[in-house]
Amino acid sequence: MSAKVLIISQEEKFYFNDSEKASKMEIEILFSGGIPTRMKLSTKKIYSIFFITAAVISFLAIKSEHYLSKDITVYEKIASGSSFNYLIIGDSIGRGAGAENKDLRWYSQLEMLLKDFSGSRARRNMLVQSGATSFEGIYKLQKSPKFRDIDLIFIVFGENDRKYMDSEQFTFFYEKLIRDAKERYPGSEIVTIIESPLKQEQFADSIERVSTHYGAKTLDMRIPFKQSGMLTEQLTTDMVHPNGRGYQLYAASILELIKNNIEIDAEIASLPKPLTRDQTLYLYEKKLVTARKGFRSENGINISKRPEDYLEYEFEGPILGVNAVRSLDGGTLKVYIDGEYVRTLSTWWPFTRERYLYIASGLDKGHHTVRFEAVETPSPNNTSDNSIIQVSSIIVAKDKKN
């Protein structure tokens, strides 16, 4: 029952700092909807009521502070029904590509399951790109603004990485992504997902090994897909990307992982010493072109529409990537490092996007020259009459200490 308290002094005005004048007073308590009652309280009783009230307020404040504390884990927040913030760093599966509509993407289904489970509201943040590798994830994380109070991070890579690098190179970048994420959001838990279409066991093993080292929780989605008893055609749109039914397995499996970690009071991921070397490197862009033929500069982007045009950059360090614009008119270029052919890159993409493309790692730490050469053969996906190369810079690495 709520009450209004009216203090009336019959003798003189009441001062809290004057015990003499506060020796005796009347307190009228008007209960909402009730009949007024009157009682006389001594100063001692007044102070007792005051201190009890203060203690209750302090207790409630401490309890509130506990639930708002950055020390509380995501598992405790979910168990108590509190809201939390999460971040997805990933590729097309991380983005939920393949679902029939946005409500059937794995994270949308997971958010509904969490709400049904404990009433917890999950606030989503995303750094995702179809076709991305862990290299691109690192650089997108590095360039992104810092999100507020991230409690949980999902890392979803591997299926694209295996096309461009070996498992040892992947291990380095995957570890760096975990370290960079944990350094930026030290209070976060990390869940790593082995994607359902991944067939390269060495890459899956790398994810398991790195995750175990950091205390990240790994979810191998190949297992629920196999145990479902359904064909790949029934769970995917194109034999790679899950459909709504496939993403239902993702969401349900993640919820079970979370519930289990709540039950065992699991500790969140930590930041021990690195497994691989050079984890203090960070990526940056280098725009200075040292030689060119045919490429014209337009708004900071080097553009070519003719075969045999080339760009050259000089750089130092073991890692090389390129910042290129991919589009429907994207062409093809060959990449040479120190005069040796390394790979062919396509700049075709169904949407115009700035992309951070991996080229090489494990190079000598000394001086290098890279040459990008436009080739006559268009990208196989390009059905237009144009073949355009757009390069804005190279992406290289240097030590944070320097």
φ, ψ dihedrals at 232, nearest 5°: -55, -35
Residues contacting 336, CB < 8 A, separation 6+ = 342, 370, 371, 373
Sheet strands (E) in 208-264: 217-220
Whether the per-residue pLDDT at 359 is higher than 90: the answer is: yes
256-303 pLDDT, tens digit each? 999 999 999 999 999 999 999 989 999 999 999 999 999 999 999 999
The pLDDT assigned to 16 comes to 39
73-116 pLDDT, tens digit each? 999 999 999 999 999 999 999 999 999 999 999 999 999 999 99
Whether the per-residue pLDDT at 385 is higher than 90: the answer is: no
Of 151, 181, 125, nearest to 258 (Cα)? 151
The pLDDT assigned to 53 comes to 62
Are 88 and 143 in a shared domain? yes
Last residue of a domain, one of 235, 263, 291: 263
Are 243 and 285 in a shared domain? no
The pLDDT assigned to 23 comes to 41
DSSP-derived letter for residue 96 is T
Domain extent for 342: 281-399
Mean pLDDT, residues 363-391 taken together: 91
Residue 268 inside a domain? The answer is no
Residue 351 inside a domain? The answer is yes
Last residue of a domain, one of 68, 86, 107: 68
Mean pLDDT, residues 324-342 taken together: 97
Number of domains in the chain: 3
* Strand-strand pairing, 320-326 and 353-360: antiparallel
DSSP-derived letter for residue 103 is G
Are 257 and 334 in a shared domain? no
Q: pTM for this structure?
A: 0.83
| Paired residues of 84 in beta bridges | 122
Whether the per-residue pLDDT at 340 is higher than 60: the answer is: yes
The pLDDT assigned to 380 comes to 82
pLDDT band at 27 (very low <50, low <70, confident <90, very high): very low
Any idea what the CATH number is for the domain that residue 361 is in?
2.60.120.260
The pLDDT assigned to 344 comes to 96
Residue 272 inside a domain? The answer is no
Are 203 and 295 in a shared domain? no
Percent of the chain predicted with pLDDT > 70: 82
Are 191 and 115 in a shared domain? yes
Torsion on CA atoms 363, 129, 248, 221, rounded to nearest 10:
0
**What 3-state class would DSSP assign to 350?**
coil
The pLDDT assigned to 58 comes to 53
Give the count of beta carbons closer than 10 Å to the beta carbon of residue 66: 12
Contact 137, 89 (CB under 8 A): yes
Consecutive H or E run containing 259? helix 244-263
Are 256 and 308 in a shared domain? no
The pLDDT assigned to 280 comes to 94
141-192 pLDDT, tens digit each? 999 999 999 999 999 999 999 999 999 999 999 999 999 999 999 999 999 9
Residue 269 inside a domain? The answer is no
